[in-house]
Every structure is written in C-alpha cells, then in structure tokens.
Amino acid sequence: MRKSRFTEAQIIGMIKEQEAGMATADVCRRHGLSPATFYKFKAKYGGMELSEAARLKALEDENAKLKRLLADTMLDNVVLKDLPGKELTTLTRRREAALRAMRDHDISQRRACQLIGVDPKTVRRTRPPDCPEIREEMKEIAGKRRRFGYRRIGILLERKGMTMNHKKLYRLYREEGLSVKRRRGRKRARGSRTPMPAAAHPNARWSLDFLADSFGASRKFRILAVIDDCCRENLCLVADTSISGTRVARELDALLRIYGKPACIVSDNGTEFNSRAILRWADQNAIPWHYIDPGKPQQNAFIESFNGSLRDELLNEEIFDTLDDARRKLALWRYDYNAVRPHSSLGNQTPLEARRTLEQFEGSAPGALAHSNRADYQSQTCRLSL
C-alpha cells in the first residue's frame, strides 16, 4: 500500500477541525486532499486520540513484519525441499545447490548461502579448473584404457613428462569422473555389435519376450511372444509351465520354416535368450541377435507395446481353467489380433493386411516401405489397386 503523505497527528487534526464545525470542503481545500480521501481517513481514525493512532500504527507495522517473516519461512522450506540434501557432501555440490537455489527461487546470495551452509566467497567467485592439460591427457588415456585406475594413469603420465603428487592426481581423477566402476552381477551375452537394422519391411526385425500368468489354483505358466516389428504381426504365442532356451530355439526353427529368416532378432538379457542353446542357434542360422541394455525395456518398445495389449485385452479379462484352455484362448486372440483388430500405427489396418500391402509394394517399388501413418498406407493401397 502506498504510504500517506500525512502523519497520524495531521490526520487526527483534520478530523477534529471537521468535528468542530468547519465544512468538509473547507478542510479538504485547506489541507489539499479530496473528500474521498478525507472520509477514508475518518473511517480509519475517527474517534481516536493521537496515542491510540500511534498504537494502531505500531500494530500494523508488527503485523506486516510477521507476514514477511512467515513468507520468508515458507520460501525457505520450499527451497530446502527442492535441494537433494543427502547428496550435499562436498563443497562443489553445496556451491552448485546455492547457485541453483538463487536461479530457481530468485533469492539473494546471502540467503541461499545461509540456508545451504556454504561460505558466500565460494559462491561468489568461479575458479577455472587447474591443470587443464593434465586433465585432457587423463581423459584421453582413460578413454582408451577404461579399466585403468589413477595409479596406472599416473605412470603413463610420468612417461610423458607430467609428474605430480599422488593426492593431487587422485583429486583430478575424481573431479573428472574417471573412477572405475566395479562390475557386478553375472556376465551377460553381448550379442551382435553391428547396428540394429530398421524395421523397414517384413522379416527385417523380430522381437521376443516372455509374459506370465496363472491357471487353475494359482498355477503359473509362461508365454513366449514373437512379433514382426514392421507389420506388428504376432508370429507365435507359446504357453507352457516351463520354457527353456532349447524350447525357444525349437519354436524359432518352426517360425523360420513358415515366415523365412529374419534379418535381426531383438530381446532382453533373460536367461533363456542368452543360453548356450540360443547362442548356438543364432550362430548356426547366421542371424544377428541384439540384446537390449539391462533395465531399458524402451529399447524393445514394439514387443512391450504388444505385451500391454495382450495383458489388457486377454490376460486381465479371462480366467484360465487349464493350460489347454489358456492355449486355446491365446490362439483365438492371436487370430483376432492379426486378422481382425485394427492397429492404429498401421493406419488402422490389421497386421496381415499391412504385411500383404508391404510385400506387394516391395515388389513394385523397392525401398519405399514401412510407412507408419494412415495417409501413406491408404495411398499405397490405392496405387496397388490401380
């Protein structure tokens, strides 16, 4: 609120002049204010003495001060909640947290430093990294020899004439993030190192994955799902209480006889997929097998999307009495998925229609395949029909 140019004593004096019999217009003309302002003053200070007005002013100032303190406290809580408190273990991280608080919450440098507990001098100045040449040389050596620690890197640096104290060498090594990560877990098959081919035509890439469900009195069974990433066709749904790597290889042999050999197969690092039987099968058939990174199912997005549809439309809707009942319902759903159910990514075609369209179009115009939107699919179909 804008501060008034009249003091409480002047305002009370005006009110007393008007109460003594002077006309309101004359009081306003004498003191240079409008009637609306005068009546506003009178509503606030009417009937008060000077001591009471001073007490009211003190209460208003104290109330405003308390409001500012409350607002500051609430802002401090918001700033502290946004900070990763468990990770502020080094001076560099505390300095970065203070700078982030100043940037995100528009608070002063002094206030941010008090909240986080860091000296303002460290926040105020930015020091360039020391020994830039040695840092670059360390990163170059670590890029070529990823399993070397700072001691061996230091020996290689000494051979190039760069000698320093081992403590400083270790500090630079840690600041550059070159620490050797300890290998954990079992050794996984790496698969093919060639780039994964794009799903541009049928049989360009197959995807495999497992699902689980139960039948009867909570008896578990597994489902092996195989799809063609290009036309989204489900090639098989194999259900059994146990499916080993040898069984997966046998099912893949059957799919090769029906659909032909794919250019690539993609799967996760499950024990069935990186077993000796699968590695031997992929080597004998000369089919590149790509394994996605652990914990990264988005790298195999086509089969994950199919799994979501299968679970949402069948597994969560049906109760299976026996394993044969589950196999029968899976076969019916697979036929409906491939031949009846429209697929939005295929321009609302079915996977079988998309496969026929792409195979025909591949024969007439090689290379222009696997369009994902509806307009492209409709234009292809129209050209083929003509």
CA distances from 367 to 90, 201, 383 (A): 56, 9, 16
DSSP line for 228-290: ETTT--EEEEEEES---HHHHHHHHHHHHHHH---S-EEE---TTTTSHHHHHHHHHHT--EE
Core vs surface per residue 109-118: b (16+ CB within 10 A) or e:
eebbbebbeb
**What is the rounded CA–CA span in Å between residue 47 and residue 192?**
92
Is 100 strand, coil or helix?
helix
Triad 208, 209, 214: Cα angle to 5°: 140
Counting beta carbons within 10 angstroms of the beta carbon of residue 330, is it exposed (0 to 12), middle (13 to 18) or buried (19 or more)?
A: buried
Low-confidence ranges of the chain (pLDDT < 70): 1-3, 50, 53, 84-86, 125-126, 183-195, 362-386
Rg of the chain over all Cα atoms, to the nearest angstrom: 38
**What is the rounded CA–CA span in Å between residue 287 and residue 295?**
24
What per-residue confidence (pLDDT) applies to 58?
77
**What is the rounded CA–CA span in Å between residue 365 and residue 383?**
11
What pTM, to 2 d.p., does this model score? 0.50
What per-residue confidence (pLDDT) applies to 59?
78
Collect all residues with Cβ–Cβ distance below 8 Å to 212 and sequence separation of at least 6.
220, 221, 222, 223
What per-residue confidence (pLDDT) applies to 366?
36
CA distances from 233 to 322, 355, 375, 380 (A): 26, 8, 20, 19
pLDDT tens for each residue of 27-69: 888 888 888 888 888 887 777 776 776 777 777 778 777 777 7
DSSP state of 349: B
What per-residue confidence (pLDDT) applies to 195?
66
What per-residue confidence (pLDDT) applies to 78?
75
Beta pairing, strands 234-240 & 219-228 = antiparallel
